[in-house]
Amino acid sequence: MIRTVSGVAIRGITACVPRNKISNETDLAIDDAERSLLIKTTGVRERRQAPPGLTAADMCENAAKLLMRDAGVSPDSIELLVLVTQTADYPLPASAIILQDRLGLPKTCIAFDVTLGCSGYIYGLSIVAGMIQGLGLKRALLLAGDVSLTHCNPKDKSAWPIFGDAGSATLLEASSCAEPLKFSLFSDGSRWQAIHVPGGGGREGVSSSSLEIETVSPGISRNRLQLSLDGAGVFSFASTDVVESLRTFLKMCERDGRDIDHLVLHQANLLINRTILRKLDLADVSMPTTLDRFGNTSSASIPLTLVSELSEQLLTRRCALLLCGYGVGLSWGNLLWVSEPLKVASLVEV
Amino acid sequence: MDITEFTRRIEQELDDVKPGTMTPSTVFSEMKEWCSLYGLILMALMSTEFNTDIKGEELSEISTVEALYEFVKRRGGIPT
C-alpha cells in the first residue's frame, strides 16, 4: 500500500559525524584473511566513534543548529521536532523534549522521540510530513541518529566492525507546489530477535549478571546489554522482503529504473545492498554508498549518504530519489521523493 | 548445470579457496578458510544467480556442497 503525503517539501539536510575514526584495516583483532574478507563483504573500511560524552542527541543538535542557520530559518518557527534514535540520552524523558530547549525552539513546539533504527529515517519523514499535512503545520525538524557503538562489544566481530556513530537533521516545510511524497511502510515483529539487545529494558532489567561476558562463538563475545546481530537472518530478510517491497512499490508508483536518478539504501552492508540492486534489476541506477567511510550509522545512514555523496546534485537540480530503510524490528520502509533544489545539504564533524 | 560446475562456481565466489580444492562432499564448516561471512556470500550467490533465497536457519542445516546443490535444485534454481 502506498501512503501519499502532499504539500510538504524537504528543504535541507545536515549530517554530523564525530572526528574520531576507527579503522577496520588496523584496529581489529582478527587475522589478515578474515579482515580482508570482512572489508570486502561489508564494504566497511573505517567508521566514526563518538568519544565519551558525545551522544546522538548532541550530534543531532549540532546538525540542527547548522541546518537552521544555513537555511536562514529561525528556531522560533519550528512547530514540530521528532528525534529518531535508539540511543537516547536518558531512559526518560525523551531527548527531543530536552532538545526543544537546547535548540531554542518555542514551548508550543511538539516534541517526541521515535524508537526505530535502520528504517527510522523513512518512518521519521512519514511521521513529520504526515503531521505537517494533517495538523496544518508550517515547519518541522526531523532528527535521526545513534551512537550504535555504545551497544556493541569490541570482541563481537559480527557487529563491532560494521557500526558507526552519526546524527542528522532534516528540515521540512509546508509547500503547495511540492511533489507528493510516496511511502510504503512495513513491520514484522515475528523476527524481532534478528537484531536486538536482550537486557536493560522492561523484559529483562539490569542486574549483576547483565555485564557478564558470554562467548557465543569464536570471535563473538558480548553481555546482555549489548547488541546481538543475526547476519544471515538480516541478509535473508533484506534479499526477500525488502526486495519484494521495493519491486511492488516501484510498480505501484508506475516507475522503473529509467525514472529513478538514485537508489539510496540504508547502509547496512555492501553485499546486502548489491544483492538488492541486482535482484531489482536496477544495474543502471546510481546507488551511492558511504559504508567505506562511515559504516552502518543506523537511522542516520540515509541522510548521511545523501549529503556526503549527492550534495551537489541535491543543491542544484531536481532529483528522483528512491530511499529505502530496513533493519531492526524488523521494520522497513520506502520513499519516492522527487526533490526540488535544497537550501542546505551539508556534512559536519564534531 | 551439473554439480561439478556448481562446485566450481562456488569456488570462484569464495576468494581464499584454491581452485580445484572443493568437491561435492566438502563440508563447509570443515574448510580451513571457512567463516560466517562465507555463509552470507553463498546466500547472495544463490539469491542472485540461482534465484533461490535461503533463510539463515535453512543455511545452518546445509553442511555440504552437494546438500546445497540439492536444496537449490529442489527450489527450481537449477534446471533439471
pLDDT in tens, B38-78: 999 999 999 999 999 999 889 889 999 999 999 999 999 88
* Buried/exposed A126-141: b ≥16 CB within 10 Å, e otherwise: bbbbebbbeeebebbb
> What Å distances lie between residue A296 and A98, A101, A165, B40, B41, CA to CA?
26, 29, 8, 17, 19
Look-up of cell digits 549529503? A307
Which 3 state secondary structure label does DSSP give B27?
strand
Given an 8 Å threshold on Cβ–Cβ distance, is A239 in contact with B41? no
Nearest to A344 by CA among A10, A4, A110, A19: A10
The 10s digit of each residue's pLDDT in A160-219 is: 999 999 999 999 999 999 999 999 999 999 999 999 999 999 999 999 999 999 999 888
Which 3 state secondary structure label does DSSP give B15?
coil
User: Between the CA atoms of B26, B27, B33 and B38, what dihedral angle is there, to the nearest 10 degrees?
Assistant: 110
Cα A137 to Cα A152: distance, rounded to the nearest angstrom: 39
Which 3 state secondary structure label does DSSP give B35?
coil
Question: Please, how many CA atoms are within 13 Å of residue A146, restricted to the half-sphere of its CB?
Answer: 29
Q: Is B37 on the interface with A (CB under 8 A)?
A: yes
Given an 8 Å threshold on Cβ–Cβ distance, is A235 in contact with B40? yes
The residue of chain B nearest to residue A272, with distances taken between CA atoms, is B44
Given an 8 Å threshold on Cβ–Cβ distance, is B33 in contact with A33? yes
The 10s digit of each residue's pLDDT in A225-235 is: 999 999 999 99
In chain A, % of residues over pLDDT 70: 100
Given an 8 Å threshold on Cβ–Cβ distance, is B43 in contact with A236? yes
Contacts of B41 in chain A (CB under 8 A): 41, 271
Given an 8 Å threshold on Cβ–Cβ distance, is A233 in contact with B47? no
Residue A181, strand partner residues? A5
Report the residue from B35, B55, B59 with minimal CB separation from A37: B35
**Interfacial B residues in 44-63 facing A (CB < 8 Å):** 44, 47-48, 53-56, 59-60
Q: Is the peptide bond before A93 cis (omega within 30 degrees of 0)?
A: yes
Q: Cα A153–A157–A163 angle (5° rounding)?
A: 70
As for the ipTM of the complex, it is 0.91
Cα A268 to Cα A163: distance, rounded to the nearest angstrom: 9
The 10s digit of each residue's pLDDT in A5-21 is: 999 999 999 999 999 99
* Buried/exposed B8-24: b ≥16 CB within 10 Å, e otherwise: eebbeebeebeeeebeb
Report the residue from A36, A38, A232 with minimal CB separation from B39: A232
- Report pTM: 0.96
Report the residue from A232, A240, A272 with minimal CB separation from B59: A232
What average pLDDT does the segment A57-65 reach? 98
The residue of chain A nearest to residue B45, with distances taken between CA atoms, is A275
The reported pLDDT for the residue numbered A250 is: 95
| Lowest-confidence pick of A90-94, A263-267, A322-326, B12-16 | B12-16
> What pLDDT band is residue B80 in, cutting at 50, 70 and 90?
low
Given an 8 Å threshold on Cβ–Cβ distance, is A235 in contact with B60? no
Given an 8 Å threshold on Cβ–Cβ distance, is B43 in contact with A239? yes
Are A348 and A63 in contact, with CB atoms under 8 Å apart? yes
| pLDDT greater than 90 at residue A256 | no
Contacts of B35 in chain A (CB under 8 A): 34, 37
Helices and strands, counts by H and E, chain B: 4, 0
For an interface test with B, the pick among A190, A239, A280, A330 (most B C-beta atoms closer than 10 Å) comes out as: A239
Nearest to A29 by CA among A153, A125, A124: A153
The residue of chain A nearest to residue B15, with distances taken between CA atoms, is A37
For an interface test with B, the pick among A275, A278, A281, A282 (most B C-beta atoms closer than 10 Å) comes out as: A275
Report the residue from B33, B48, B53 with minimal CB separation from A278: B48
Which 3 state secondary structure label does DSSP give B64?
strand
Q: How many residues does chain B have?
A: 80
Contacts of A239 in chain B (CB under 8 A): 43-44, 47, 53
For an interface test with A, the pick among B29, B31, B40, B48 (most A C-beta atoms closer than 10 Å) comes out as: B40
| Lowest-confidence pick of A59-68, A83-92, B25-34 | B25-34
